């Protein structure tokens, strides 16, 4: 059944209000053991209401396709009325151009690119490389033309530092320009990103 974006957002908000929590971003959550164990303790009336909504609401994958990601759907539905959500690694939020950012620093960088009218791709995949990135799972924070931009905000953590080394090697091997941004660079992003305005 076709639904407009508005109808999808209303469905999501109503389901949230009924459940009392944000449904996880999982395709099969409502068929999962965790949900079923919770469902059996609902009152009979609440069970009927939840089942009625689950029949009507579109699947998670459709929300992801229409809104780019689950977080954006939560923001636009009014569930996250602060347009942000604290996580263990920072504050998840949306940039001015509705890109999902995993920290306020990422938002600042994305907004700088947007404000300077620089077309950018969020979270592009690094090219596959036999030894360094065989499955092609590594992602950059942004891509502008042939330049990858990384905000290395967790530098100093061993696993993270190892990923930085691998990403640098991939860029070197594939002749990709890597623009590295660190915490100190956030004061004046034009120093690192100004070259993209040409």
Q: Which residue has the higher pLDDT, 141 or 40?
A: 141
Would you place residue 145 in the very low, low, confident or very high pLDDT band (cuts 50, 70, 90)? very high
Q: Which CATH number is correct for 86-197, 3.20.20.70, 3.10.105.10, 3.40.960.10, 3.40.50.12280? A: 3.40.960.10
Helices first, then strands: H and E counts in the chain: 8, 7
78-100 mean pLDDT? 80
> Looking at the predicted structure, is the pLDDT value of residue 75 above 90?
no
**Model pLDDT for residues 61-74, shown as the tens digit of each residue:** 899 899 888 888 88
Domain residue spans of the chain? 5-81, 86-197
> Looking at the predicted structure, is the pLDDT value of residue 38 above 80?
yes
Which pLDDT belongs to residue 141? 96
Angle, helices 70-77/60-67, rounded to nearest 10 degrees: 80
Would you place residue 189 in the very low, low, confident or very high pLDDT band (cuts 50, 70, 90)? very high
> Looking at the predicted structure, is the pLDDT value of residue 1 above 90?
no
Q: Are 166 and 132 in contact (CB under 8 A)?
A: yes
> Looking at the predicted structure, is the pLDDT value of residue 81 above 70?
no
Which pLDDT belongs to residue 79? 84
Which pLDDT belongs to residue 134? 93
Percent of the chain whose predicted confidence (pLDDT) is above 70: 98
């Amino acid at each position: 059944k076709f639904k407009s974006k508005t109808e999808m957002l209303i469905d999501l908000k109503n389901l949230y209000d009924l459940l009392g929590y944000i449904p996880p971003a999982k395709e099969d959550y409502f068929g999962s053991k965790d949900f079923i164990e919770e469902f059996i303790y609902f009152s009979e009336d609440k069970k009927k209401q939840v089942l009625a909504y689950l029949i009507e609401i579109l699947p998670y994958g459709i929300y992801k396709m229409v809104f780019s990601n689950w977080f954006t759907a939560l923001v636009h539905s009014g569930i996250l009325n602060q347009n942000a959500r604290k996580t263990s690694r920072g504050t998840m939020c949306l940039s001015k151009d509705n890109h999902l950012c995993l920290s306020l620093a990422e938002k600042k960088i994305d907004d700088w690119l947007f404000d300077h009218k620089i077309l950018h791709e969020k979270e592009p995949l690094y090219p596959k490389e036999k030894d360094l990135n065989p499955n092609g799972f590594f992602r950059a924070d942004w891509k502008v033309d042939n330049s990858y931009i990384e905000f290395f905000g967790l530098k100093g953590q061993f696993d993270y530092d190892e990923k930085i080394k691998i990403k640098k090697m991939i860029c070197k091997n594939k002749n990709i320009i890597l623009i590295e941004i660190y915490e100190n660079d956030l004061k004046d992003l034009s120093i690192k990103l100004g070259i993209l305005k040409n």
